[in-house]
Chain A
């Protein structure tokens, strides 16, 4: 398995502000993934973060709203910008273990926007 940590674990934010979520992995990985899970819904992939290149965003997600950094092979950040109540979700960092072709998730960041 993979040991993945995220900070913060939860936050309550005001409309119009931004929040940066950090993700740390216990070993080097090529790709890191950011997911969103809205209340009662399944997982939606926001973007894939590769070290040394721009993140690849899924349809419906844009860099201005969800800028991502990937400064090295064990760390990434996701910023949720200019937040609105519709951004209230759990945000999950995820990595693949290539040797087992398996995807593991961090503990998540529960975001509430007022």
Chain B
């Protein structure tokens, strides 16, 4: 079982819709959770971090964490073509090891 699992997609949504990206992790002791955005040919860029159960909102982005279910999600509201990218879920485990998912490719269709 991989430490962090994501649906690789591709995920396509129309412009203005909500994009929902999901991630599960295996280490119950994990404390820190992150979402990175990676445009083609570029390096990963941190867009959200979350540490507590519940929702965390930042502009059009909302991260959701459910530690009991070992589940992290990212919602992108009012999706724009500029949101088209690969989104990487990352988890900092109890042993201070960073694990990355394989990424979900998102395409926002104008």
Residues of A in contact with B (beta carbons under 8 Å apart):
1, 41-43, 45, 90, 92, 100-108, 110
Residue B92 lies at the interface, judged by CB distance under 8 Å to chain A: yes
Determine the distance from Cα of A110 to Cα of B92 in the docked complex, in whole angstroms.
26
A41 to B32, CA, bound (A): 23
The total of Cβ contacts below 8 Å across the A-B interface reads 38
Which residues of B are at the interface with A, using a C-beta cutoff of 8 A?
A: 31-32, 34, 41-46, 49, 88, 90, 92, 98, 100-103
Write out the residue numbers on chain B whose beta carbons fall within 8 Å of the beta carbon of A106. Answer: 43
A43 touches B88 (CB 8 A): yes
B87 vs chain A, min Cβ distance (A): 11
A42-B101, A42-B102, A43-B88 as given contacts; A101 in contact with B32, CB under 8 Å: yes
A50 to chain B, nearest CB (A): 14
